[in-house]
Structure 1
Amino acid sequence: MSEYKIVAKPGVGEFVDKKSRFIAHVYAIDSEEQAQGYIEELKKKYWDARHNCYGYVIGKNNETQRFSDDGEPSGTAGKPILEVIKGNDIHNVLIVVTRYFGGTLLGTGGLIRAYTKSSQDGIENASIVCKIQGIRTKIETDYNGIGKIQYIAASMGIKNIDTIYTEKVIIDITVKKEDYDGFEKKVVEATNGKAVFGEKEEAEFVVE
């Protein structure tokens, strides 16, 4: 996967139906231990709530997927939360939805709708960014070549550039992995081979 969405800043969403209150917290996670830590933290914070249901995925390909109904009827809470995560195609994320019971049963459809809506609101209130797999390199060029390279980078939407001006110009640049070969070819042609590419290394960068 060359690019995938992650949570940059947590979010909170809230939904009320027939006096039942659903509070969704959205977190970025890197491990199951971290997920369990957030879940326990919220259980302590909302100690008087009836349920703390959750869903989470870990890995670029969602290798780890977990959910819990925490006492709600099977399939009405954890799975809908997980489906919201997968539907938004977000990775390494945990959503915990705390429910305060309002005294009126919502039924299976009502619960699924409430857990789905609160989870979606939580995601919309979080900051979601795209993490992209790239290749980082340094290009050495003369002052005649810098404008040409900057033009090529701009035309390809490349923004991860840091330029150092000395007797030569050193450009530290990160390019999407699938765009790198085309970028290098264009730079070589535009500078008649005078631009010198350094070592390549894999790198990730974030686009909001």
Structure 2
Amino acid sequence: MSDVTRATRYGVLAADADHEIEIKRSRFICYLSRVEDESEARDFVGLVRAEHRLARHHCTAFVIGADRMVQRSNDDGEPSGTAGLPMLEALTLFTRPGESAADLSDTIAVVVRYFGGVLLGAGGLVRAYSDAVSQALGVAEFRTRQRMRLLTLPAPHADAGRWENELRAADIEVIGTDYEAADAILRLAVTDEAQEIETVAHRVAALTQGRGTLGDAGVSWVDLTP
């Protein structure tokens, strides 16, 4: 995936995930969560620490933003470079099923280690922390987050449900419907390209027999429906 594409489309977690592995009696429990900024990342680390107060290490890594420029990691007492960095590499190199390149972002990984009494050595720690994150990613579910043009479509209350169903059937992203006193307002999200917007306008005109008028509600990031 090119840098240009990454700036308009990237992968995110659909829900939190966790996975545990055991290596030479040490337990490595990886928790994955979606975060929008560094403050949310720190809050999540705090939650995991509170749940696992007796664990020796709570190592972290996260990547944030459409351009994936915000990247942080922390070894939390493990030898330098043996935990946080391998975790971060597991996040940034992960390719979602069906994608051709790594694009995961807005994601934090926290790996909790309960020491089992056997030293793993630097290489063993690198593999353990990397595998903990990679295996957690392997059981996680994902969505695509894309920069989209938002459109509004007023609809008579009696027609709103049918219009929404037919638009979805035509693979147009309907992100919600607001029922107001006079009309229902369908909120649509389409790829922010002139040709795509024109195609949607033609579909709406045919669906509504020329009665529907699309409004421009600006641009926003939208999680696409699977």
TM-score (norm 1): 0.77
Residue identity (%) = 29
**Correspondence 1:201 to 2:207:** no
**Residue type matched to 2:190 in 1?**
V
State the shift of 1:55 in Å: 0.3
**Residue type matched to 1:176 in 2?**
T
State the shift of 1:132 in Å: 1.9
Segments of 5+ residues of structure 1 without an aligned counterpart are 142-146
Of 47-56 and 198-207, more deviation after overlay is shown by: 198-207
**Is the 1:162–1:173 Cα contact (8 Å) retained in structure 2?**
no
Q: Deviations over 1:70-97 (max 9, x none)?
A: 1222221101111121123321211110
More contact order relative to length (CA 8 Å, sep ≥ 6): 1
For 1:192 and 1:74, locate their aligned partners in 2 and report how far apart those are by CA, in whole Å: 66
Change (3 A) 1:173 1:47: closer
- Structure (1 or 2) with the larger CA radius of gyration: 1
**Is the 1:13–1:120 Cα contact (8 Å) retained in structure 2?**
no
**Correspondence 1:103 to 2:121:** no
User: Which residue among 77, 85, 90 is the counterpart of 2:83?
Assistant: 77
Q: Deviations over 1:101-133 (max 9, x none)?
A: 122222233222211121123233444222222
User: Which residue among 115, 118, 129 is the counterpart of 2:129?
Assistant: 115
SS at match of 2:105: coil
Change (3 A) 1:140 1:32: closer
**Correspondence 1:50 to 2:50:** no
Q: What are the equivalent positions in structure 2 for 1:19-58 lying under 5 Å apart? A: 19-58=25-64
SS at match of 2:54: coil
SS at match of 2:143: strand
Q: What are the equivalent positions in structure 2 for 1:46-195 lying under 5 Å apart? A: 46-88=52-94, 89-139=103-153, 154=169, 158=173, 160=175, 172-178=187-193, 179-184=196-201
Over the residues paired in the alignment, what is the CA RMSD in angstroms? 3.5
For residue 2 of structure 1, what is the aligned residue in structure 2? 8
